[in-house]
Structure 1
Amino acid sequence: MCRSVRVLLAIAIGLAAAACREGETGPVSTEGVTHEEVREYLLEHPELVLDDPEIANSIERARSKRAQEHAASHRESILEERSDLLNSPLTPSSGEPGAAVTIVEFYDYRCSPCIASHPELEQVRATEKDVRIVYGQLPIFGSHSVMAARAAIAAHLQGRFNAFHSALMTASASPGMDSIYATAAEVGLDVEKLRADMRDPEVLQYLEEMRLLAEALDVTGTPAFIVGGAILRGGTTADELGAEIGRQRAQSRGEARSRVSRVDRRRGPEEAPLPDPIHRIRLSSL
């Protein structure tokens, strides 16, 4: 009886086979077992799940996987709905809009894990083909973060985002107002135009829309990397990003669909959480 029950449970939760208890021998046949028979048996014997940690854990993993897949599908839908924002003239990006894989990075210039991840993302940009990277501003560490984000968009309007962005990400100290303007001058920006664009209401509204997009995608801190429907939370590496890019490519080709991992990776201390007072800061008040 144990053998047949475990096989039925294995079928119910989508496992390929069920492990038998020590001492049981011989093949296990599931031929002729219907879904309804499995369901009825489980309804009549719920203690089989409760009393077997292995089965309970398998069910929990199946629930978690399904929840992650639903969340990934939801994120993909949101990104599709907000393609206007991702393709806005105010949105800095590298690669072609029609690339096979898009990475949306949410970051803050005063976020240590964001800075640590910068060379990793640069490596991906240099080595991965047919990948677009969208740079999503999410300033969460106070007024200087907000001003740096404004300046980055203003630099983008002058066609110098990459130089300005890299300079801030590799600076020896967190950006303040003086260093922001000094960096702008060093990379060849028109500082007076930069100042004017930083005050442009359209830029302020854009940053608010980007914050709302991050909120809708369940981005709870920086950095966060949206790769297709997957989300990598916290500092990352080129290898991790490359692996997720490969999974997304396989999914788009319809290959190995059962092995595609739609990840919601939580990294705890390596991800800077959104402090509520700062997260809700009114960008126009600065």
Structure 2
Amino acid sequence: MPMIRPLLSAAGLCLSLSLPVQALDLESMSEGDRALLRNEIRAYILDNPEIIMEAVAVLEQRQSQEQSQADIDLVKVNAEALFNDPASWVGGNPEGDITLVEFMDYRCSYCRRAHDEVTGLLEKDGNIRFIVKEFPILGDESVLASRFAIATLQVAGDDAYKSVHDALMTYSGAMNETGFSRIADTLGLDANKIISEMNGDAVDKVIADNHALGQRLAISGTPSFVMGDQMLRGYLPQDAMQEIANEIRAN
């Protein structure tokens, strides 16, 4: 059961917090004394069961702090690939005081929800540099969509990529060459030229590099964000992202 492990850890934490500095020497105790001690601990916990949940809260807080620090270290080690990769599209305010990086998949429903939240954040804040990391993990159609978007960036440039990225985020048809041609034609782009580059080595490299970066950052789902030196794992509404940005600036 999911609560067993934290409860056991919390019980140990309760004991460690309640013992005096001069803790008992368990190795020198007789089996009888050990049994008495166990019975006393059990009786105390049964009489005060709330201390288990208090200890669980302390344990979870410690684990959260440790994870946050581990994430900060991961961002620091991978900062160059995150923030200065010339193969990734950069939007928002290129001179912004905070950089937001999103790992996304076009077939991810939460990425589609996050798209509106991020767009609203960039428009309202106006001082955030935004980087998209194509991170297809939800099957062949995800990979094809990312290939089309990356090829658009490489063939037609930043503005064309932004238009295709936005279109793919709201597209409800099959992610295939027919659909991509329709999107490109609607946007006035050279569909044949973009599609011809989708399976090129340059596109392969971008996807491979992004997957390798995601693996180093322990990213297993989309959307995943990096804002400043913080990892934000999962969907966040606009207000929550703005609050984090404000906290980063304040510090």
What TM-score bracket applies, with the shorter chain setting the length?
A: 0.7 to 0.9
Structure-2 residue corresponding to 1:129 = 126
Show the counterpart of 1:215.
Answer: 215
Q: Please list the CA deviations of residues 188-236 of structure 1 after superposition, one character each: whole Å capped at 9, or x if unmatched.
A: 2212221232122022011100011111111111111221232333332
Please say if residues 78 and 216 of structure 1, whose CA atoms lie closer than 8 Å, have aligned partners that are also in contact: no
| 2:139 matches 1:142 | yes
Q: Which residue of 1 aligns with 2:116?
A: 119
- What is residue 60 of structure 1 aligned with on the other side? 59
Distance of aligned partners of 1:231 and 1:174 in 2 relative to their CA distance in 1, 3 Å threshold: farther
The 5 Å alignment of 1:1-286 reads 41-42=20-21, 44=23, 52-53=51-52, 56-57=55-56, 59-83=58-82, 86-157=83-154, 158-159=156-157, 160-251=160-251
Structure with more helix by fraction = 2
Change in CA separation of 1:62 and 1:115 when aligned onto 2, cut-off 3 Å: closer
Distance 1:130 1:172, change over 3 A: same
The CA deviation at 1:98 is 5.0
Q: Structure 2: which amino acid aligns with 1:199? A: N
8 A contact 1:101–1:227 mirrored in 2: yes
The equivalent residue for 2:3 is none
| Cα gap change, 1:153 to 1:59, in 2 (>3 Å) | same
Matched AA of 1:72? D
Separation of aligned partners in 2, 1:213 and 1:104: 12
Which piece of structure 1 moves more, 193-202 or 172-181? 172-181
Aligned AA (1:233)? R
Q: Is the 8 A contact 2:75 2:217 kept in 1?
A: no
Q: Classify the secondary structure of the residue corresponding to 2:65.
A: helix
Give the percent of matched residue pairs that are identical in Structure 1 and Structure 2. 28
Preserved contact between residue 103 and residue 133 of structure 2 (Cα < 8 Å): yes
Code of the aligned partner of 1:162: K
TM-score norm. by structure 1 comes to 0.66
Could you say if the C-alpha distance between residues 146 and 43 of structure 1 is closer, same or farther in structure 2, counting changes exceeding 3 Å? farther
Structure 1 pair 44–170 and aligned structure 2 pair: CA distance change class (3 A):
same
Q: 1:126 to 1:96 in 2, by over 3 A?
A: closer
Cα pair 2:105 2:222 within 8 Å, conserved: yes
The Cα RMSD (Å) is 2.8
Task: Give the letter for the 1:169 counterpart.
Answer: M
Structure 1, unaligned runs of 5 or more: 1-37, 252-286
SS in structure 2 of the partner of residue 66 of structure 1: helix
Number of corresponding residues: 212
1:233-252, Cα deviation, whole Å (9 max, x unpaired)? 3332111111111122222x
| Rounded Cα–Cα distance in structure 1 between residues aligned with 2:145 and 2:64 | 38
